[in-house]
Amino acid sequence: MKKKNNEKYRKNLTPQQYHVLIEKGTEKPFTGKLLYNKKSGIYVCAACGNNLFSSDKKFDSGTGWPSFWDAVNKDSVKKRIDTSLGMKRIEVTCRRCEGHLGHVFNDGPLPTKQRYCINSASLNFKEKRKKR
């Protein structure tokens, strides 16, 4: 992460969030708090609050992690090649703090055909306020 201060992150993140965002871990499938979230709003980085994904781009991929067909905008996330498990994948990180979010695959729905497979632990959710 950019200029990471591990003590700051250890203090402000849960152990699971720290493991995912800082140590590039992953949560077990079908255990994430946001997997079944159907509310309207924005998914933000749990480490820095950067807007990452919108509920209108979320879909049920059946993989066990929240999935999105695109980021909220082109400047919200960063992609880089990840060969850590002996295979080539594309890692997705927060553009602002470089916290690990998950990976993106080319097996998603139209219009992008992308599946951003994202750990719930790396996200917080800001529900859209209902108009009165």
Contact by Cβ (8 Å): 116, 76: no
Question: In 10 A of CB 38, how many CB atoms?
Answer: 7
Known catalytic residues are 117
Contact by Cβ (8 Å): 102, 65: yes
**Residue for token digits 């946001």?**
34
Return the bridge partners of 58, or none: 68
Distance of CA 48 to the CA centre of its chain: 12
- Give the Cα separation of 121 and 64 in Å (integer): 13
- Whole-number CA gyration radius for the chain: 14
